[in-house]
Amino acid sequence: MTTRALPARAAIACAVGVWLALGLPAGNADARDLVIGLNQYPSTLHPSIDPMATKSYILATTRRPFTTHDADWTKVCLLCTTLPDLADGTAVRETRPDGSTGIAATFEIRPGARWGDGTPITTDDVLFTLRVGRHPRNGFANQQLYTKDIRTIRALDDRRFVVHWDRYFCDYQVIHDLQVLPAHLEGPVFDADPDDYRNASLYQTASTIPGLYFGPYRISRVEPGAFVVADRNPHWFGTRPAFDRLVFRVIENSAALEANLLSGDIDYIPGEVGLPLDQALALERRHGNRFRVVFTSGLFYEHIDVNLDHPVVSDLRVRRALIHAIDRATISERLFAGHQPVAHGTISPLDPVYEPEIRRYPYDPAAAAALLDQAGLARGADGLRRRPDGTPLVLTLATTGGNRSRELVAQVLQAHWRAVGLEVRIAPEPPRILFGQSLRERRFDSLAMYAWLTSPANVPRTTLHSTMIPSEANGYAGQNHPGLRDDRIDEALDRLEVTCEAAPRQALWSLVQRRYAELLPALPLFLRADAYVMPRWLAGVRPTGHQYSSALWIETWRVEE
């Protein structure tokens, strides 16, 4: 599906008209409301379906994972009390009757934790979440966690439960993706029709029900495509947040997003889902006296997924030609002032598991042209490549519409590819369509440009393992959108989860990265830096530099003179 982004003035007028008509605040006039500008609207508010950065950001203020990585990249508990540990007996090795070995890890829900309607969060909710997660058509992004990694969960009482890991699991301490669901609300919905749960879930159909949330805030108003409002949660069990209300205004055109910030209609644009870097750099030069702009490098990977089922780009020679034809270094320098260095693989040098010795693809148009010739894509009289049967070849580059920087990069890529005879059409889509349908259901024609966020040393099973290819049969679970199938990568990923010693573990990490660079299921572009544009009165925001956003600690944000 191809759409055209509104011109900036039209987008601004449309957004302001909607907000005024609905009586929403136009900025932080009295420090009781914080108005946050976001560049995407989520396809769903369900915490485990359709991973999108903007959804994760909003839900970070209204929910808490059991475990996460903090801004220091340390594993911490949020909904649990302490991390289980083999050293203190809260985790133990267990040998089963069949001779297999696993780990039993005990977690405890924080005292006083309640859903937004006052109902206590209990192990019944945890067991219900496991039951939903195991249904084959639930559409959960990390279905592997429920169907394979966790053998079972056993409740000890209302607050304590034991996760029995299927094997001796290196990351036995963390359950980041076990996003607890309210059994008293979602249970009847799931039981009525488990096959249709992803569409019938209250997070999708009635997302303002207070009991769906348990963070410092709970969602109270939603206007699809425009805004989400979250009010302070009276049943929150942690530190009282400084702001009475959060308003997440969604402006998918980045020029309009900046204009609304400058006009005072929004207070803050977070780096996780905000302005492109080049735009933030220009804003800092012009308005640095009004705003504090914090640039954070992290585990952000801008890339182009390749649909490996496409008859042309499935040819490795074509994929290598595509990347050889791009002058990524010049793009990085001219558009991003070098703040977004060229990526050579899926893992950032900031990650402790990074492997530098992988295949690299320098800018080399002559090599690109030779590879295309070898693939049988000869140039016609018009200079453009044709398929081996002589028919014209046109590829499509899908990306997020309204992101000025990404659209500019797409145009530069288009020009570079045309120079070697490849016709590539740009197909911008609203993010909720791109992520909710085109990628999730693998509908994109040949190429799709977007970014991944990850956490330190996170095993990329959901994005690279062959069992994680979304399909109708598995309810579109998994995030292996290219459709990569490689036995060596699969085996290395399986072994990474159970190989805990440093040297052999790093050897497996190196194998995955080298193989990825050889096969090119995606074309690496840049290691993205994010820009947090905040008013000078906003304090307490700590960018994390990974996929778990700064908003998970929103109760520490405050107003300072």
Instruction: Pinpoint the residues of the chain covered by CATH 3.10.105.10.
Output: 298-528
For 139-159, the DSSP string reads -BTTHHIIIIIEEEEEESSSS
pLDDT, one tens digit per residue, over 420-454 is 999 999 999 988 899 889 999 999 999 999 998 88
Domain 298-528 in CATH: superfamily? Dipeptide-binding Protein; Domain 3 (3.10.105.10)
Q: So what's the pLDDT on residue 561?
A: 75
pLDDT, one tens digit per residue, over 504-513 is 999 999 999 9
pLDDT, one tens digit per residue, over 153-209 is 999 999 999 999 998 889 999 999 999 999 999 999 999 999 999 999 999 999 999
- Please, what CATH class does the domain formed by 67-184 belong to? alpha beta
Contact by Cβ (8 Å): 107, 160: yes
Dist CA 255 CA 31 (whole Å): 26
Dist CA 553 CA 531 (whole Å): 18
> What's the rounded mean pLDDT across residues 318-325?
98
Alpha helices per DSSP H over 63-106: none
Mean per-residue pLDDT over the chain, rounded:
91
Instruction: Pinpoint the residues of the chain covered by CATH 3.40.190.10.
Output: 8-63+202-297+531-559
Residue 327 predicted with pLDDT over 70: yes
> What's the rounded mean pLDDT across residues 348-360?
95
Report which secondary-structure segment, H or E, holds 252: none
pLDDT, one tens digit per residue, over 126-136 is 999 999 999 98
- pTM value? 0.82
Residue 30 predicted with pLDDT over 50: no
pLDDT, one tens digit per residue, over 37-70 is 999 899 899 999 988 889 999 999 999 999 999 9
> What's the rounded mean pLDDT across residues 287-297?
92
Q: So what's the pLDDT on residue 6?
A: 29
> What's the rounded mean pLDDT across residues 471-496?
93
pLDDT, one tens digit per residue, over 241-257 is 999 999 999 998 889 99
Q: So what's the pLDDT on residue 26?
A: 53
> What's the rounded mean pLDDT across residues 212-232?
97
Dist CA 494 CA 53 (whole Å): 26
C-alpha distance from residue 248 to each of 49, 191, 293 (Å)? 20, 32, 19
> What's the rounded mean pLDDT across residues 291-305?
93
Fold annotation for 8-63+202-297+531-559? D-Maltodextrin-Binding Protein; domain 2 (3.40.190)
Contact by Cβ (8 Å): 337, 281: yes
Dist CA 128 CA 209 (whole Å): 19
Q: So what's the pLDDT on residue 461?
A: 92
The model's confidence at residue 25, banded by pLDDT at 50, 70 and 90, is: low
Dist CA 521 CA 446 (whole Å): 11
Instruction: Pinpoint the residues of the chain covered by CATH 3.90.76.10.
Output: 67-184
Q: So what's the pLDDT on residue 475?
A: 83
Supply angle C-alpha 252, 430, 26, rounded to 5. Answer: 25
Pairwise pLDDT comparison (335 vs 541), residue with the higher score? 541
Dist CA 476 CA 199 (whole Å): 13
